[in-house]
Amino acid sequence: MAPSDGDQDRLAGISLIEVERALAAPFVGRPFPPAIEALLETETERYRTRQLLGAGLIGIAIYLTYLWVDWGLTPDVLHIAFAVRLVVMLPLGLGLCLVLLTAPPPWLRETVAAALPVLATLSTLIVVLASEAPLRTVHLHSIVVALLYLAVVQRLRFYYAVAAGLLIFALYGVAMLFLGDGDLHDPAVETVLIGLALVLSLFATFELEREWRRGYLLNVTLRLRGRSLEAASLHDPLTGLENRRALELALTEIVRSGRSESVGLVLFDIDLFKTYNDTLGHQAGDECLKCIADVALLNARGPDRVFRYGGEEFLLLLRRTGMADALLVAERLRRAVAASGLVHPGREGAW
């Protein structure tokens, strides 16, 4: 299938060499070169926004189940849990999801998404620190859920995941300072386990983004190669002019457009070209064809298109041109070819 016009427009300014360099470069969480990064954002913005919005709603649903965990682990502060989760955090989380509906810039979109697991962790730690229940510290393990959520459900961009993960770990560290020595069986072991969960979640986000970006580059590579092949299939390799297939597509497009306009066709060939070719050789014949093609291009008007119709035959497609104007274009082209200085050995003077 030929690349669409919209695809051609988006790929304008993107070179295959640049994409292949980006593919060969090691991924360290950095964005692509500006042109490729802008293309990626343009083509994935809507999907990414919908994905994060869906992840946000899933996260809110998971977050509300924490009330059941609060009831089991911290029943003495259930009223605080309800106030923090339903009165403060739930409206805040829904508000952040609404921000995603406004099509925010990439940095704001990713920041809003990263804020959700951080706020969920903060509210849980508030409940834990307010409670005196003997099982309250078990609630700290819900931090692992937040880390899994940002890596697997949200699939945060790596640097945003690092920022969110470190904030969550820092909040955990602050909570540990306020908890009594007898609240945790072994604070060091607990901290190491949470740290390992953080490292694994960040590794997952790194790999997910790396594979996603690599897949995108491979897709762009295929599209660019397809564009090159499409262009090659529509052009004559000798003269660089569009070929008969391109002419057929152009005429089909005119018919399908349904617009009422005059279209002129000027078909011309090179007199006694076989004699010229046989006398001076095929290389000279090729140079002659290229010279005629250049003359035709130089004398074509802005919207006109020049095609190599076949052999020594050429054709001009003239949009919005009546018979009288088409004859003027043809005569101007004939005079230009005659003035080009090409000499035919089998006839007197120039063409």
The H or E element containing residue 265 is strand 263-269
The H or E element containing residue 319 is strand 313-319
For the record, the structure tokens of 198 come out as 């953080």
Torsion of Cα atoms, 228 then 229 then 235 then 236, to 10°:
120
Question: What domains can you pick out in the chain, each with its CATH number?
Answer: 5-228 (no CATH), 244-338 (3.30.70.270)
Task: Using CB atoms within 10 Å of the CB of residue 205, give its burial: 0 to 12 exposed, 13 to 18 middle, 19+ buried.
Answer: buried
**Are 151 and 161 within 8 A, CB to CB?**
yes
What is the distance between the alpha carbons of residues 351 and 333, in angstroms, rounded to a whole number?
12
> What are the φ/ψ torsions at residue 340 (nearest 5 degrees)?
-75, -20
What is the distance between the alpha carbons of residues 153 and 186, in angstroms, rounded to a whole number?
31
**Are 140 and 172 within 8 A, CB to CB?**
yes
Length of the chain: 351
What is the distance between the alpha carbons of residues 151 and 149, in angstroms, rounded to a whole number?
5
For the record, the structure tokens of 219 come out as 């897709």
Model confidence, pTM: 0.74
* Cα end-to-end span (Å), the chain: 42
- The position carrying tokens 């090691």 is 26
What is the distance between the alpha carbons of residues 158 and 164, in angstroms, rounded to a whole number?
10
pLDDT tens string, the chain, 351 residues long: the values are: 444 555 666 787 788 899 999 999 888 777 888 899 999 999 999 999 999 999 999 999 999 999 999 999 999 999 999 999 999 999 999 999 999 999 999 999 999 999 999 999 999 999 999 999 988 989 999 999 999 999 999 999 999 999 999 999 999 999 988 886 566 677 888 899 999 999 999 999 999 999 999 999 999 999 999 888 888 899 999 999 999 999 999 999 988 887 778 899 999 998 888 888 888 898 999 999 999 999 999 988 888 999 999 999 999 999 888 899 999 999 999 999 988 888 777 665 444
**Which spans in 74-157 are helix H?**
78-82, 90-100, 106-130, 142-148
DSSP β-ladder status, 305-310 and 263-269: unpaired
Residue among 209, 217, 222 nearest 43 (CA): 217
> What are the φ/ψ torsions at residue 306 (nearest 5 degrees)?
-110, 130
